Every structure is written in C-alpha cells, then in structure tokens.
Structure 1
C-alpha cells in the first residue's frame, strides 16, 4: 500500500484529494498539510511514497522548490504536482527535476488517480502543452513564447531596455512586441494585458 502525503492549502481541494486517496485500496493517506516547506520536513522523518502537492501552497510557498528538495534528499519518494497554474514556466520547471509528474486540477478525479499510479510505477507524466486560456480576442497560444517571456520580464520589474539586453534584441523590438500583443488581444493599454495575464495565472510571480 503506497503512503501518500497531500500538500494543499485550499480546504475544498484538500477534501477532494483525500476522497481520491481514501477511495483507492492501494493508497494510504498519511497526512494532509497546507505548506510545501513542511512537506520537506515530514519526508525527513516519515516514509512517504508519493507527495501529491499543489504548486502554490500556504504563504505562496513554492511546491516545485519543495519537490526538488524532496527528490534530492529522498530519491525513493515520488513528487506529483497538481496545479491550476497554467504558466508555461511551471511545466518547464517541473520537467527539469522538480517533480516526477505534473497534472492539472481540472482534468478530473479518474485522470488524477491514474497519474498517481503511473507515477508510483516510475513513469514521468506531464501534459504535452499548457492549456490555452482566453485573453479577450485571442487565446494564450497565439502569443509567442518570446513575447510571453518579454511580458514576464516586464511584470517582474524590468524596463524595455533591460528586456532588450537580456533577450538580445532592440528596445524598439520589445516595444513593437508589446504593441502587437495589445492590438492582437484587443486591449486598450499594456496595463489591461498585464492584468489579464496575472488574473488568468498565465504568468505567476508570487511564489516563494
């Protein structure tokens, strides 16, 4: 029987994940906690086969940072991130050693249970791409990865000139890309684009 630790700060999602685990005779619920950093400590003194962890936990603590620490310190413990954050950086980080698998919360109970078992059996299960979300007139898939990175860097506090230097292009090129994103999506200004990206969780900057 596989021993499962749930890490989730929303009560309704805690109950949902507990239901999935408790309905499966091959899984045993060890504990449910709300803080990713606490999960690292629990794995130091308890035998955990799989940590089912949200990406953004209590105090905005980062599930992937905790996942990386758990995998490094306890190679026998699997880490499955289940998240509603569609920021492509989340999936990218998960694939580079921070998790054994990642899946999205809205994919349903049966899919999540299947990913749990596949991960326990040694598979690495990841979506092929992040879900598209609507940004007014367009979907997020219509914004190029390069434009999305420019938007992310601007939201993180970089100026157009700093973005240009980091991305090896001109300041006018950065400005043109922002103008194209704003026009394509049908927003009135850059601030509307930024607000939509943050509200939809297309870009996440609050993790610690």
Structure 2
C-alpha cells in the first residue's frame, strides 16, 4: 500500500489529485493539506510513501523548501513537485535535493500517472526545460538565461549598477540587455516587461 499526502492550496486541484489517487487500488490517501509547512510536520509522525507537493502553497509557503526538509528527514519518502510556475529557478531547485520528480500542471493526467509510478520505482523524472510562454511578440525561450537573471534581480530590488557588479559586467551592458528584451518582445517600457514576466509566472519572488 502506497500512503499518499497531497499538498495543494487550490480546492479544485485538491479534488483533482484526490480523484487521481483514489483511482489507484494500491494507493491510500492519508491526508490533503494546503500548507507545505504542515506537510513537513505530518511526515514527522505519519509514515508517508509519496508526497504530491505544490510549490506555492498556503500563505506562499514554499513547497520546495518543505520537500527538501522531508527528503532529508525521510529519504525513502518520494516527493513529486506539481506546479504551474514556469520560473526556471523552480526546476533548478527541484533538481537539487528538493524533490524526486517534477510535473507541470498544464500537462495531461496520463503523464502525471506515469511520473508518479516511475518515481515510486526509483526514477527521477524532470523536464529538460521549462515550458515557454508568450510574451507579446516572442516566447520566453527567446530570452537568454543571463537576461532572465538580470530581470529577476531587478524585480528583487537591485539597481542596474548592483546587477552589473553581481553579474560581472558593465552598467551599460545591463541597460543594453533590458532594452533588447523590451524591443524584442515589443513592449513600450520596462514596466510592461516586468508585468508580463510576473503575470506569466516566468519569475516568482513571493515564495516564503
């Protein structure tokens, strides 16, 4: 019997994952919770074989941090991250001990079942890249990782000069990269670029 804990703060997704688990005869749903921090506590006193973990949970508590804590305390427990956040940092962090596998919510049910069973069999199932989203004239894949990091740092409150120092380049180089992103995507200003990045969940800065 595979004992399953679901961590998801959206009611409709809770019901979807519960339905999925209840269709598997060898699975037993232990509990569904909305808060990643509560999941860590549950795993400390209940034997859990599989955690389906959202990234952005109740009060923006970070499912990746919770996944890492669970993996460190209970190495045999499998953690599958489930998320709609396409921020490349999410996938990068998931691969560094925060989870066994990752699945994007916009993918199909059959794929999720496959990921779950492969994970339980000992595989680590991660996409090679994050999904692309449209940003006016381009897709997010047309923005270089270096430019995306500059955008992230600016959204987090750094000035052009601070970004230049951190990324070992000139301030004018940072300014040029922002202008290229704005022009390539067809936005009229930097604020529109930032709004699009946040709205599309290409960059996420709210996790706690």
C-alpha deviation, 1:59, in angstroms: 0.2
Partner of 1:157: 157
Correspondence for 1:83 = 83
Partner residue in 2 for 1:131: 131
Could you tell me which residue of structure 1 aligns to residue 9 of structure 2? 9
Distance 1:31 1:145 in 2: 38
Local SS of the residue matching 1:30 = strand
Once the two structures are TM-superposed, the CA of residue 114 in structure 1 deviates from its matched residue by 1.1
Structure 1 gaps, min length 5: none
Q: Does 1:19 align with 2:32?
A: no
What is aligned with 1:172? 172
- List aligned pairs for 1:47-196, cutoff 5 A: 47-196=47-196
The two structures have a TM-score, normalised by structure 2, of 0.99
Aligned structure 1 segments of 4 or more residues deviating by more than 3 angstroms: none
1:203 counterpart residue number: 203
After superposition, the C-alpha distances for 1:23-59 in whole angstroms (9 at most, x for unaligned) are 0112111100000000000000000001001010000
Q: CA RMSD in A?
A: 0.5
SS at match of 1:86: coil
SS in 2 for 1:106: coil
CA deviations over 1:86-116 (Å, ceiling 9, x no partner): 0000000000111110010111111111111
Counterpart-to-counterpart distance in 1, 2:11 and 2:108:
17
TM-score by length of 1: 0.99
**Inter-partner Cα distance in structure 2 for 1:51 and 1:159:** 39
SS of the residue 1:103 aligns to: strand
Partner Cα distance (2:122, 2:12) in 1: 29
